[in-house]
Structure 1
């Protein structure tokens, strides 16, 4: 099995999340993509975060795809950091070839993640194009530290079969959608307030 792991708060989930998953499914020839809806991102303010059950339900309503599974795994196994989640999955699914899926905006801040170098050594990574962040994501501290492990985009299909560290950039999505912007609209007081 070739499985893409797509983690995030998904608050709210949107069509660019789905498009990134579909792009990874197709270009990496994945069998499945698992959305790992996290209880909370340690690097973000989670004070106004929608409840986990609501975010999972919204993600499931959005995806409706036979090869995309939406989970609240991190809450179940009580992990807080991506490194711990991936380690847990690899220990329990030894025959599965996992690939971590992230947007270019996350590559930009990847060096701030707990044990980010460990994550890069656990699983190959695919970085999906984002409008704006894609322009400078490769110049980020993590992008520079991992530059020698970057594959040409046409070799992205081989990522699940590669030993980490290995990563590739997938171009073509360029969606302007952002959960941060959608939350700001959601939380904006109505004119009647």
Structure 2
């Protein structure tokens, strides 16, 4: 039985598959594949999004962003490291994509920031594109709603969609690797 078609958008596209509501992105996502070097020696990587109450209706959309992970050599029972930030809808330009966000760290990481964009999604998966920063290269992450990850067929369909976008995204898609997950990871 075939699932919904995989639709991937190019970065900064003003068009996006209709029906996405930001509430669909809230909750915990498991990073199953990536091109970002920082995940090569990590495992059990999750990203959790939680809505932030906007102070007024004129304020841009925001949500808290908590990334957790373990070193690849750590047992599944080890406490995970944590990076906390806030994502704000990027409205800096009139042509801003409706799924482009600016991340800013909290606490000691307050000086760190980056831009990322949701390129595609389905009920069980999402794909994000991260722009290059002073400290990290541009990259892609594939997310799953469950720790078990995604079927190999779905991963291949996502990779094909990313390759079809072409440009930097298509090139990055060729270097996707699987992010390690513990059998017992929660």
TM over 0.5: no
Bigger share in strand: 2
TM-score, normalised to structure 2's length? Answer: 0.33
Bigger share in helix: 1
TM-score, normalised to structure 1's length? Answer: 0.32
